[in-house]
Amino acid sequence: QSVLTQPPSASGTPGQRVTISCSGGRSNIGTSIVNWYQQFPGTAPKLLIYNNNQRPSGVPDRFSGSKSGTSASLAISGLQSEDEADYYCATWDDNLNGLFGTGTKVTVL
């Protein structure tokens, strides 16, 4: 059972802004960076946000990340149909063990 809690689902209509939260603790998010991964059914996860708020080359700027204290958020502005996927936050604990969030399924209505 993951120690990083995300809402199971989130949804919005095209063009809307959707936010996904990721709640952790002092020994993980509180002392480390947060990354976000996007996963489509049957495919490998893809890096979406790294080091809290950095976008890899090729990731649209409608995706943004932030971190405050022991929580982090992923925002999708101008939601598009192709954004329908599962999203996972990830961080490292004090022993540098990796941790993934519980995952959030984003649906475009």
Partner 1 sequence: EVQLVQSGAEVKKPGESLKISCKGSGYRFTSYWIGWVRQMPGKGLEWMGIIYPGDSDIRYSPSFQGQVTISADKSTSTAYLQWSSLKASDTAKYYCARRVGVAGYYYFDYWGQGTLVTVSS
In the block, tokens 């603790």 appear at: 25
- Each residue 14-43 as x (binds partner 1 by CB under 8 A) or -, in order, gives ------------------xx-x-x-x---x
3-state secondary structure of 52: coil
Ordered DSSP codes for 46-82: EEEEBTTTBPPTT--TTEEEEEETTEEEEEESS--GG
Provide, rounded to whole angstroms, the least separation between the CB of residue 47 and partner 1.
Answer: 5
Q: Is 107 in the site for partner 1 (CB under 8 A)?
A: no
- Positions 72 through 101 that interact with partner 1 (CB under 8 A): 88, 90, 92, 96-101
In the block, tokens 């689902």 appear at: 9
The DSSP element (H or E) to which 29 belongs, if any, is none
Which residues contribute to the site for partner 1 (CB under 8 A)?
2, 32-33, 35, 37, 39, 43-47, 50-51, 56, 88, 90, 92, 96-103
